[in-house]
A and B are shown apart, each in its own frame.
Chain A
Amino acid sequence: MIKELIVTIALGSLLGFGITGGYFAIKKNSASNNNNLPTPTPIISQSPTISITQTNDTSQLSTQNHTLSIESPENNALFSVARITVKGQTSPKSHIIVTTSQKIFTTTSDSVGNFEIDIDLESGANLVKLESISTTDEQAKTEITVTYSTAKI
């Protein structure tokens, strides 16, 4: 009986100390965690810097943004007819100038920047140069080589 009583007291003490110790440990840890939390970056204080950067970037981006790409024909395409259509994308309302070795063709891109222009190829290989001039006087250019041949391929 005495033996059982001693065991019960010992277990009770252990349980009591354990719970009390655990409680204080949790409390201490949560306090230290609060101190280690990352400080949120004040968004408001950053805003002016961001807006200035974006303003500067906008002018650079607008230069980079004026691009010219050819959707068709593909580079090195071979045609059996002289008249072909060149399609592509650039900035809206840009002047598009397409040249072959002998001829010049001009058009304007539409309100979303798409353009389509018929050109006449010279017999044989043609270096077709495209140049786009935006409404803000930015220039972009590209070129492709296409071949016109009536030979049976």
Chain B
Amino acid sequence: MLSFLLTLAAISTTPSPTPTTAPVTASSSEIQKIREVVSQKVMEKLKQITAPATSKLGYVAKIIQVDSASISFETSGNTQNGTFGDDLTVIDLKRNKTKLENLKIGQDVLILGIKDNQANTFEIKRIVFTNPAEIDNQHTVVLGKIVDISRSSPIFSLIPLGNKNTQYQIKTDAKTQILTQEDSTLTSSDLKSGEKIIVILVPDPKMSKTYYAKKIINLSYAPPATPTPKDQ
């Protein structure tokens, strides 16, 4: 009885659990982040499910290690391994077939083969010696405002919207494609100072610090107003 009473007293003095967390209200940005993460996970799973058993792949790579049966190579900062297929072909820089023995550590190559996605193996069918400069894509896309246009030569100055401390000297010629947002064709005389444009340019090999515009999209272009005939 006494133990019952003491137990009763002990229970009554034990503090009951109190809610310690306030109700959490997730902000819209947090909800958006969660949605994006869930969406990514779903996409990854879908890719795994729908992924083919094998994939044909081509790696632009540098040889790290090579022997008579396999190769290790570095591509985009990662190291990959592959085994040579029975029908392996090796092509040199002059586009001639060459021997496997001519593969050297440090050689730039394009490695073509078939990846087994389940076994995670890569069987190499073709190795082509490459010059990295040939693969380079020198196009640069700049969104900016025209700050100065030369009327004596086809050159204008552009300041990027994202970096106002930079200025591009951009050259155009008859081959430069100049368009409106609606893909209507314009001429270089339609470009005005202060206009916002997207330029796809490449470095001009003839003039340092000057770029050549291959394509321009004029985001500010407004067609000249058609004069309205007056009522008489």
Interface residues of A (CB under 8 A from B): 11, 14-15, 18-19, 21-22, 25-26, 29, 33, 36-38, 40-41, 43, 50, 54, 57-58, 61, 65, 74-78, 95, 97, 99-101, 104, 106, 124-129, 131, 133, 137, 139, 141, 143, 145-147, 149, 151-153
* Bound Cα distance A50, B27 (Å): 9
Residues of A within 8 A of B200 (CB): 97, 99, 104
B window 142-201: CB within 8 A of A? 143, 161-162, 181, 196, 198, 200
Distance (whole angstroms) from the CB of A17 to the closest CB of chain B: 9
Q: Interface stretch among B53-61, B62-70, B204-212, B223-231?
A: B53-61
B window 5-42: CB within 8 A of A? 5, 8-9, 12-13, 15-16, 18-20, 22, 25, 27-29, 32
Once A22-B5, A41-B22, A124-B128 are accepted as A-B contacts, the answer to whether A33 and B16 lie under 8 Å apart by CB is yes
Residues of B within 8 A of A126 (CB): 135, 137
* Bound Cα distance A139, B196 (Å): 14
B101 at the interface (CB under 8 A from A): no
Interface extent on B, as a size class?
35 or more
Which residue of the partner chain A has the closest CB to B28? A54
Interface contact A100-B137, CB-CB below 8 Å: yes
Interface residues of B (CB under 8 A from A): 1-2, 5, 8-9, 12-13, 15-16, 18-20, 22, 25, 27-29, 32, 55-60, 75-76, 89, 110, 112-114, 125-126, 128, 130, 134-139, 141, 143, 161-162, 181, 196, 198, 200, 214-215, 217
Residues of A within 8 A of B75 (CB): 76
Interface contact B217-A95, CB-CB below 8 Å: yes
Interface contact B136-A77, CB-CB below 8 Å: no
Interface centre among A18, A125, A131 (most CB of B within 10 A): A125
Distance (whole angstroms) from the CB of B59 to the closest CB of chain A: 6
Interface contact A26-B12, CB-CB below 8 Å: yes
Interface centre among A19, A78, A99 (most CB of B within 10 A): A78
* Bound Cα distance A104, B202 (Å): 11
Residues of A within 8 A of B58 (CB): 76-78, 125, 145-147, 149
Interface contact A36-B125, CB-CB below 8 Å: no
Interface contact A153-B126, CB-CB below 8 Å: yes
